[in-house]
Amino acid sequence: MENRFSPGRALSVDQVPQWDQETDVAIVGFGAAGSCAAIEALDAGMDVEVFEVASSHGGSAWWSGGEVYVGGNGGTSVQKEHGFEDQTDDFRTYLTMAGGPAADSERIELYAQNGVEHFEWLKSQGVTFKGTYLPGKWIEPTTDDTLIWSGNEKAWPFSAKAKPAPRGHTVQFKGWGGGKLLMDTLCEKAVALGANVHYSHRALCLVVDDSGAVRGLVVRGDGQEKFVKARKGVILAAGGFICNQDMVKRFVPEALACQQQVTGGNDDGAGIRMGISVGACTLNMQEFFATLPFFPPESLVKGIFINERGQRFINEDTYHGRVAHYVLRQPNGKVWLLVDNEIFGRPMLQPNIEIAAVGETWGEVEEQLGLEPGSLTTTVDEFNRHAAQEQDPYFHKAAEWLKPLTTPPFAALSYCAGDFEGHAFTLGGLATRPTGEVLNADGDAIPGLYAAGRTACGLPRWGEGYSSGLSLGDSTFFGRQAGMSAAKA
Amino acid sequence: MENRFSPGRALSVDQVPQWDQETDVAIVGFGAAGSCAAIEALDAGMDVEVFEVASSHGGSAWWSGGEVYVGGNGGTSVQKEHGFEDQTDDFRTYLTMAGGPAADSERIELYAQNGVEHFEWLKSQGVTFKGTYLPGKWIEPTTDDTLIWSGNEKAWPFSAKAKPAPRGHTVQFKGWGGGKLLMDTLCEKAVALGANVHYSHRALCLVVDDSGAVRGLVVRGDGQEKFVKARKGVILAAGGFICNQDMVKRFVPEALACQQQVTGGNDDGAGIRMGISVGACTLNMQEFFATLPFFPPESLVKGIFINERGQRFINEDTYHGRVAHYVLRQPNGKVWLLVDNEIFGRPMLQPNIEIAAVGETWGEVEEQLGLEPGSLTTTVDEFNRHAAQEQDPYFHKAAEWLKPLTTPPFAALSYCAGDFEGHAFTLGGLATRPTGEVLNADGDAIPGLYAAGRTACGLPRWGEGYSSGLSLGDSTFFGRQAGMSAAKA
């Protein structure tokens, strides 16, 4: 019975036996994008039905750190209070660099102009931010502070083009996992405004008419299939596809190098597949967030990564996700982090990392790793010589992370393929206008269909340019856009 | 009037006013894939109508070198005659490496098993091969010889995993451009068998029924729109999308670094867009063939490429297209080819390449390039020391291309961004079964729709793994598959 419907195959409206439910706006997924889309559609006076496959709200965002990447317009209230000026020009430049070769200038412009407003909007929905600033380099704060450096802002080449400012704004939550608080607040707000949420309801496929317009969807819940008519439109906010092994293999096989999936468990790509079924075009399906958090302790950032040729390949003070992408593409998957006794520490988030070599001289380390004589030592000598002058002419690591690696014993931590635990989620998705309309291959909007969050290809679309908080910032902001657009349809 | 139809939007069969033409198999595009699809469908007794947007046959393949990449099964008649054994295992391994992270093992298996048969089939269609072997490293032969080394076979890492054999089989044609002969032969054969070819006919969109099956297409020609019913199916063989600037920007922006488009002029992505319009899924849309032919003269292969850090980054004896992809991704687009007086020559295919620096010592060259003192010279010294022993432990360049760069004057040829002419075409396309059925997002076949050639994502799907002749080999072989499958539908 269930095989009658599949996300990759749309149902013709002529084959709908009856409409079991009717609404203005139907939303698939009740996570960051879906909840914010619901709030805006409800604010515009729409009837909203939400279909969530899980038995509770929040999606993958519920499991996140609850951090939102915003800035510009001179700065948010928190940025300003702590003395960080953040002009829109710098925010735009940073986001453009972070978007990579296929950065979407229109989407970036909308976000750069309205990031501060969006932060205020989140607060007005009841999301609480303590307003404090936490210095240092964090994967995710364990305190309940607000403002952190969460991306590549202070690292070359970003720092050379855009004035750095911290832009990670984390909800007021002690310990890891502020996403719970963020999503509880947003989802409860949507419900309070009148969202009719159906949990444990799986969206099976979209319904289209002869003109190609989306008219509704088929869902399965309460043991039956239901045909849902959406007068204004359907919003796909069903997350990415990191849980779908078949899709990962087809579209983003390089992510298979990361064992850990960053997900609430339902990123099965059904939203993306439903979009494709009605002629939507996808973008950047090969891109993914990856990280192998090689710090804390922070001191490890002062180490240097080398490949099997003894070559460095990255400024180690860039965002850990950017470092990961460079590590993943080194020849034969061979990479080591070189440290001396002064900066050594066990990687707190990678407790199983092996020490591949230890020596009283770098020559011993080189020999133990089986590297070409002189390859590692030349690189370390050159690095040390420059670091002593607080310089890194080749990779432009910032001075605060430069220190000659001259205190024995010396060690090489293995980040060779298979030796670390990578974490990944997908960044590719449906092509959309910044306002949420899903686009076909000619770049025209498909009537009645909207998408946001990781179901769409949004601001975070390039693994090398990711910053913590970018996905939540994008999902909440562009979820709102999709909700407003559907309401206006 | 014409705006009523667009490739990205399928037409419902309910909106077809009348069928102006009916056929068993309708083929969009009369190039390598389309002509071979037509021949097989005709051989199976089908009525075949071909719609070609150009005023003559051959597509982009007509402008190519007329080289087909085949081998395996112990070798083709030509490989065997010249003493090259080519086992299927080696051919399969090579193709798998060449396919990159998303290599399609089923497609590779079918091709590896049947490459020799396919070569015989081409001959049986009237395509002539002289049967001779031309040693050396060629971008494309200017003689009418057959067998050449046209890929990465002898270069690391390919050579370490698969026993090398030359597999480029070029039609008997003097000078560059054997594609003319290949395509004239195949297209004339299709016509002789009964293909009804409509030149100057543009495919406007596909026609689908309520179940999602493709029932035909709308074309424009002779000043009018025509509705064409395809009883068995439509085969999309309309090439890639390198001519479509908007699609290039959206899907493969990195190809914009190459000024020259490798195309007959009609690779506008209409075939891919029509597939997307009916729910097809695309693969590897970010991938492209690129080359900057830095040789001949062959002696330049003995030079070494360095980036702005003075680092080498590739074994220079790999296929020129692989070299190009490595060049294109170096930091700040800064790359130079270092040569000494013994190997120096003007790049024949890049006559405008500038000599960025000349010196009696490598130190002078380094200084003129403005590189960090010691960066270039350390790399050259290390290379020379190993080359004198016929070794390249870091990059594994083959011994025949190793020679210390020690004869002054020394020079650096600029391959910095903007200083060379890159050539590109697209490798991403519709997801298909090896037998040609176009797949939706769930991996299920869309009834009535087939694709081959660069409209599909085929064997050549990774810029770093391309070999000359792979696209023609793929297009002709999998064009045949699509023709056979449609006939059997």
DSSP for B128-191?
A: -----EEEEE-SS-SSS--EEE-SSTTSTTHHHHS-----EEE-S-SSS-THHHHHHHHHHHHH
Burial (0-12, 13-18, 19+ Cβ within 10 Å), B250: buried
Residues of A in contact with B203 (CB under 8 A): none
Contact (Cβ atoms closer than 8 angstroms) between residue B271 and residue B247: no
For chain A, give the percent of residues with pLDDT over 70.
99
Query: How many whole angstroms separate alpha carbon A207 and alpha carbon A12?
Result: 6
Record the tokens describing residue B435, joined without a space.
């037998």
Listed in order, strand segments (DSSP E) in A138-240 are 147-149, 168-170, 196-198, 202-208, 214-221, 224-236
Give me the mean pLDDT over the A140-146 stretch: 91
pLDDT band at A350 (very low <50, low <70, confident <90, very high): confident
Phi and psi dihedrals of B448, rounded to 5? 85, 5
Alpha-carbon separation of residue B215 from A280, B96, B230, B452, B456 (angstroms): 20, 35, 6, 18, 20
Element (H, E) at A446: strand A445-451
pLDDT at residue A138, rounded to an integer: 85
Mean pLDDT of chain B: 97
Burial A190-225 (b: 16+ CB within 10 A, else e): bbeeebebbeebbbbbbbbeeebebbbbbbbbeeeb
pLDDT band at B366 (very low <50, low <70, confident <90, very high): very high
**Contact across the interface for B276 and A440, Cβ inside 8 Å:** yes
User: Is pLDDT of B2 > 70?
Assistant: no
Nearest by Cα to A360 from A345, A374, A340 = A340
Alpha-carbon separation of residue A160 from A164, A468, B336 (angstroms): 9, 20, 24
User: Is pLDDT of B139 > 90?
Assistant: no
Query: How many whole angstroms separate alpha carbon B134 and alpha carbon B149?
Result: 8
**Contact across the interface for B273 and A14, Cβ inside 8 Å:** no
Mean pLDDT of chain A: 97
Question: What is the DSSP-derived secondary structure letter of residue B239?
Answer: -
Nearest residue in B to A374, CA atom: B382
Judged by a CB distance cut-off of 8 A, whether residue B381 touches chain A is no
Task: List A residues 88-117 in contact with B (Cβ-Cβ < 8 A).
Answer: 101-102
What is the rounded end-to-end Cα distance, in angstroms, of chain A? 34
Element (H, E) at B387: helix B375-387
**Contact across the interface for A382 and B374, Cβ inside 8 Å:** yes
Counts of helices then strands in chain A (DSSP H, E): 12, 22
Over its C-alpha atoms, chain B yields an Rg (Å, rounded) of 24
pLDDT at residue B431, rounded to an integer: 98
Residues of A in contact with B276 (CB under 8 A): 276, 279-281, 440-441
Our CA-based measurement puts residue B311 at a distance from the nearest CA of chain A, in whole angstroms, of 8
pLDDT band at B1 (very low <50, low <70, confident <90, very high): very low
Top pLDDT among A488 and A350 is at A488
What is the rounded end-to-end Cα distance, in angstroms, of chain B? 34
Residue B36, classed as helix, strand or coil, is: helix
Test mutation, B440, B457, B464, chain A, max A CBs within 10 A: B440
**Contact across the interface for B14 and A279, Cβ inside 8 Å:** no
Judged by a CB distance cut-off of 8 A, whether residue A488 touches chain B is no
Among A24-28, A129-133, B43-47, B294-298, the range scoring the smallest mean pLDDT is B294-298
Residues of B in contact with A250 (CB under 8 A): 102, 281, 283, 431, 443
Our CA-based measurement puts residue B277 at a distance from the nearest CA of chain A, in whole angstroms, of 4
Partner-chain residue, chosen from B9, B382, B395, that has the shortest CB–CB distance to A212: B9
Nearest by Cα to B205 from B431, B11, B453 = B11
Judged by a CB distance cut-off of 8 A, whether residue A251 touches chain B is yes
Record the tokens describing residue B378, joined without a space.
């350390």
pLDDT tens digits, A287-333: 999 999 999 999 999 999 999 999 999 999 999 999 999 999 999 99
Task: List A residues 384-413 in contact with B (Cβ-Cβ < 8 A).
Answer: 393-395
User: Is pLDDT of A1 > 50?
Assistant: no
Task: List A residues 439-468 in contact with B (Cβ-Cβ < 8 A).
Answer: 440-444
Residues of A in contact with B382 (CB under 8 A): 374, 378
Listed in order, strand segments (DSSP E) in A242-377 are 260-261, 282-283, 288-291, 304-307, 335-339, 355-359
Question: What is the DSSP-derived secondary structure letter of residue A73?
Answer: T
**Contact across the interface for A276 and B278, Cβ inside 8 Å:** no
Judged by a CB distance cut-off of 8 A, whether residue B223 touches chain A is no
pLDDT band at B3 (very low <50, low <70, confident <90, very high): low
Give me the mean pLDDT over the A385-406 stretch: 97
Nearest residue in A to B378, CA atom: A378
Alpha-carbon separation of residue A56 from A60, A73, A183, A264, A365 (angstroms): 11, 36, 11, 11, 52
Question: What residue type is assigned to position A217 of the chain?
Answer: L
Burial (0-12, 13-18, 19+ Cβ within 10 Å), B389: exposed
Query: Is this structure's pTM higher than 0.90?
Result: yes
Close Cβ partners of B124 (under 8 Å, ≥ 6 residues apart): none
Give me the mean pLDDT over the A162-187 stretch: 96
pLDDT tens digits, B83-93: 999 999 999 99
Residues of A in contact with B395 (CB under 8 A): 309
Judged by a CB distance cut-off of 8 A, whether residue A131 touches chain B is no
User: Is pLDDT of A2 > 60?
Assistant: no
Record the tokens describing residue B231, joined without a space.
């009883």
